[in-house]
Each structure stands twice: as C-alpha cells, then as structure tokens.
Structure 1
Amino acid sequence: MQQVKSETFLAGARLVDPRALPVPTRTPRQKLANRFNRAFVLHGGLIRRGVMIAALLAGCVALYQVREPIGMLANTVVGLAQGHSAQAGLAIGEIVISGQTLTSEQQIFDALGIQPHTSTLGFDVEAARQRIAELPAVETVTVRKTYPGDVAVVITEKEPVARWAVDGITFLIDGRGDQIGEAQGAYQELPLVIGDGAADDALVMIRALNGFPLLQEGLVALSRIADRRWDLIYDTGLRVQLPEQGVSQAMTRLVTYQNDYQLLDRDVSIIDLRIDNIVAVRPNKPAEDTEDSES
C-alpha cells in the first residue's frame, strides 16, 4: 500500500470558510438511529440487563398462562405410566393390615390412598406411612410393598388407660389424655372418668387409686369437679369427696375408716374428706321421709 505524506495532502489544500461548508439534512429516522446509537454506547450494559429482565418476566408470564395445560399433561403422563405398570402385572392386588384394634380398616385404606389402577411402582410408601401415623390411635406404623403387587401395613396402637364419658359419648383416652377412639361398649375393665378436664388428669388419679385396691370395689366412676379435684362414685350411689391436695393421704384415712368402721358400707350418700383430719358424712334420707316429700 502506498503511503501519502501529509505534505502531499497539504499541497493541494486550500482555505475554506467553515460557514460555507454544506450541512447534510438528516431524516427523523436517522436522528432516532443516532440517538439510539449514542444511548447504546453510553449505557449499553444497563440496556442489555433491562432486556434480559424483560425477557425473563415475559417467560414467567407465559409459563403462568399455560400452567394448567402443563399440569393436565403431567397428570395424563403419570396416569398412562400407572396404567402401563398395572397392565404389566405391577398393579397392587393384596393389602395386608395387622396390629389394629381401635383403628378401622376403612380409615387405613383411606390413608393409603390406593386406587384401582395404582401400581407398586407409583405407590409412595413414605407418604402413605405418614398419613396413617396421623390417625388418632396409631403409635407407630410400618408400610412395606412387595413386588409385584403386595402391600403390608403393620400398626402398633396407643394403649388406652381409661374411658372418658362426655356429651353422651364414651371415648378411650391414652396416658396423655388424648382421645384415641370410641369405647362402643367395650373396655369395661378400664376406669371411667367423667367431667370437664377429667381426661387431662386421669392417669395421675388412676395411678394414685391403684395403691388402694379396697377403694376400687364397687367403684363406678371418677368424677372431675371444676377441673380441680376428684369424687369417687360407687354403685350404691355413695359419693366420696376428695381434697384438691393430699389425695393419697385422704384415701389412706378412708381405708382406715373402712377397716375400722365399714364406713363405705354405711347408709350414707356423701363422705366428705376435703378438710384434713375431718370426716363429714351425709346420711341417706329414710324411705318414709322420701315418700312424705314426694306426697
């Protein structure tokens, strides 16, 4: 390439008044393009980031608009997979449940969530185990699937410690006072507690009473009074009022009175032990007094 020296360029130069030079006419489009080029040169980084953010927002909006069709498509694919697995001999055919007494089989089936065409491949063992574990009477549960199509459920239930009668229904309660099922006429050997708040403190009272077998003869129920203290109710209609504090000491005195005076066998309706070192009794009304009052 031939280089042209500045002297050569200047040799043909001539003086020109700048005001005489022509001014090119730019169209509105050219002006807009110039402004855009200038802005891009000065703020190119910000413009690129803005464009990326706008594109991401547009993509999110588009995905939100098609979320329902995508969900339906996913469910359809899962359903087809389940169906193919079932047709291949992997459908759940036998469910074996053991260990349950208070929990009905229907409750367990509902918690398992197994449908007619559910396959062992698609069955979520852990999710089913968690649902069964939330049932009131269940202490622990194991769910196991065995290919090609068996499911085994082994349950250990909470131990009922008493029956709690409230609002016309008798519930079974555990040591924490939680309802774990309805008695439905069974578990008659368990102590019966009645009254508001009786379930919460039943275990403490039952353990205290276990040290006094003599007081359990003919005992019908333990009645919680004002959620503060207990009464012993016997099949003869006798009510023994225990104190709020010093329950064991009061029952020890009652055993002494029974051994010495057969107090529990006397014709009394109430034995009041609420005051320390004092025993108050209320005799039953004679039959003639009852008849007179009725007449």
Structure 2
Amino acid sequence: MQQISPRRDPAPSRLAYRMERLLLTPAFRRLLWVGVPVFCVSLAVGLYLSDQTRRDALSLMVENVKAKVRDRPEFMVKLMAIDGASPGVAEDIREALPVDFPMSSFDLDLPQMLREVSALDAVAKADLRVRPGGVLQISVQERTPVAIWRNDETLDLLDIEGHRVAPLANRAARPDLPLIAGVGAQKAVEEGVAIMAAAYPLATRLRGLVRVGERRWDVVLDDDQRILLPEIDPVPALEQVLALDEAQDLLARDVVSVDMRNKNRPTVRLGESAADSLRLVRLKELGVD
C-alpha cells in the first residue's frame, strides 16, 4: 500500500509573515534603502579619515583645488572704479579700502567693505560689486551739505537730515551755506534752513541762527541784533517781523532784540540810547523837566 506524504501548508510561517509585514512599513523601507547605504558610506569615510596622514592629504588636495580655482584669471580683480564721489571722498574711500590689486574676487569681503564705505561721513548710500573684466565697482551717493554747524570751537558741514558730512577749516571756505550754532542745532537742520530761506531779505545783515534750549531758534544779525523766534511756527513769526521792518524800518532803529516767542504779544527791546530818548519823551509828556 502506497504511503501518502502530508500536504504542505501554503500559509507562510509566523516569522515570514512578520518579515513581509515589516517590509511593507514605509519607515522600515526608508531605513533599508536609505539608512543602510548612508551608514555604510559614513562608516567607510570614517574609517578612511581616521588616519591623520589621510586627513592631511585630503585637506592639502582641497586647498590646492581651491587655490587653482581662486587664482584663475577670470576671477581676478585688477582695479577699483569709484562713481558718484568727489575727489576728496574718492580718496577717503581708497584709504578705507587698502586693497592690493590684483586680488581674487573670492578673497574680497564685499559686505565688510560696504560697511567700511557706508561708515564714511560723506557717504549717504553705497553699492559694491565686481564687474566683468576684473573691476571692483563702487557706486556712491554723497550727502549734500546744506548748513555749517558751529559746535564749540569746531565747524562741521551737515546735510538736511543733520548728518555730519565733513569738517570745515573755516567759515570763509563755504560762504554759500548758512551758519547754525548751539546744542541740538544738528537735530533741526531742516527747520533752520527754512528759517534762513525766509530771512533772505536780511541776507546782507544775517550772521546765522542759534539754537536755544534745544527747542527754538534766535536769528542773529549784525550789531548783535536778535529776533527771538517761537518754538512752534517760527517762519510765520519771522515773516511778521520782516513785514514790520519793511513798513517801519524796525530793524534799522536802535533795537537790541525783537521777541516773538509769544506771537500774541511781540516785544521790542530798545538799545540804551533809544531807551533814554524814550524816557525823556515820556517825562516831557508828564511835564517833568
């Protein structure tokens, strides 16, 4: 009688079933297809670089490749071009950027160089870039001086925002610019320039403006005459004084100052001789000899 062998169970074993389920897991598949190769490569690189001699050789090779790329002719900067700057400012820029040409563009720290140029007093805005042909192009927008600020014993040129543009040796060097003085005058340059423009009819007598208490201005004329302007709306107050002067020659008289700080009650301070004459007139009116 023929012996019949038992039929093989087609169902997978428990271990095979678990392996198949594990292979269907996305995280395990990523680990198998990405993590294992990365680990093997990292292990090989780590073993290779564990030797100091190999590390030194690799570093030397990298430096040689970098040097060959850095020193290629197309990456060399041969000269500097400065646009938009006056000769004096251009010279200041060259002193601030002592670059020895030719130099590789990879060795130029353009952000730091831009900070150095922008830090110059006369520079309002700057732009740096390397042009084709090996030219370091520096484009500059200079500050425009609009006033001279006397601060203690020094003279400085200021722009409309009150930024220092450059020192000034003496007042006669820029007779075209108005003179302002006093603590805090540099913070109100725009207002000071507007007052000076309104005082144009007094240009031949105008000596400058003085900032008082960091709040308001005094207009200073020759013969030490002063127009004391209010803190608010100084230009209309000055125009009122100019109208009085045009109608009655107010400022041509023996007047020490015209106080417009209270616009509702202007005050005129007379000189000594004018005050004495006025006193005599009043005494005569009172019948006193």
- Shorter-chain TM-score bucket reads 0.5 to 0.7
Q: CA deviation at 1:171?
A: 0.9
Residues 19-68 of structure 1: per-residue CA shift (max 9 Å, x gap): xxxxxxxxxxxxxxxxxxxxxxxxxxxxxxxxxxxxxxxxxxxxxxxxxx
Q: CA deviation at 1:196?
A: 0.3
Aligned partners of 1:82 and 1:283: how far apart in 2?
83
Aligned length: 213
Q: 2:249 aligns with which of 262, 269, 288?
A: 262
Counterpart in the other structure of 2:270 = 282
Are 1:167 and 2:155 an aligned pair?
no
CA spacing shift, 1:82–1:229, aligned 2, 3 Å? farther
Counterpart in the other structure of 1:225 = 212
Q: CA deviation at 1:117?
A: 5.4
CA spacing shift, 1:267–1:101, aligned 2, 3 Å? farther
Are 1:128 and 2:116 an aligned pair?
no
Q: 2:166 aligns with which of 181, 188, 195?
A: 181
CA spacing shift, 1:84–1:156, aligned 2, 3 Å? closer
Q: 1:85 aligns with which of 67, 71, 77?
A: 71
Counterpart in the other structure of 1:34 = none
Aligned partners of 2:216 and 2:254: how far apart in 1?
24
CA spacing shift, 1:277–1:179, aligned 2, 3 Å? same
Q: CA deviation at 1:230?
A: 1.1
CA spacing shift, 1:85–1:238, aligned 2, 3 Å? same
Give matches, 1:1-295, under 5 Å. Answer: 81=67, 85=71, 91-101=76-86, 104-116=89-101, 118-185=103-170, 186-275=173-262, 276-283=264-271
Q: CA deviation at 1:165?
A: 0.7
Aligned partners of 1:125 and 1:251: how far apart in 2?
50
Report SS of the residue matched to 1:151: strand
Please say if residues 89 and 122 of structure 2, whose CA atoms lie closer than 8 Å, have aligned partners that are also in contact.
Answer: no
CA spacing shift, 1:118–1:177, aligned 2, 3 Å? same
Q: CA deviation at 1:90?
A: 6.0
Report SS of the residue matched to 1:252: helix
Q: Looking at CA atoms only, which structure, 1 or 2, has the larger radius of gyration?
A: 1
Counterpart in the other structure of 2:19 = none
Give TM-score, length-normalised by structure 2. 0.61
Letter paired with 1:282: L
Q: CA deviation at 1:148?
A: 4.4
Give TM-score, length-normalised by structure 1. 0.60
Regions of 4+ moved over 4 Å: 88-91
The gaps in structure 2 that reach 5 residues or longer are 1-55, 275-289
Counterpart in the other structure of 1:32 = none
Aligned partners of 1:82 and 1:284: how far apart in 2?
86
Aligned partners of 2:86 and 2:168: how far apart in 1?
11
Q: CA deviation at 1:160?
A: 2.1
Please say if residues 259 and 268 of structure 2, whose CA atoms lie closer than 8 Å, have aligned partners that are also in contact.
Answer: yes
Aligned partners of 1:102 and 1:243: how far apart in 2?
42
Residues 209-255 of structure 1: per-residue CA shift (max 9 Å, x gap): 42443244421110011212211112333222223334233212211
Report SS of the residue matched to 1:236: helix
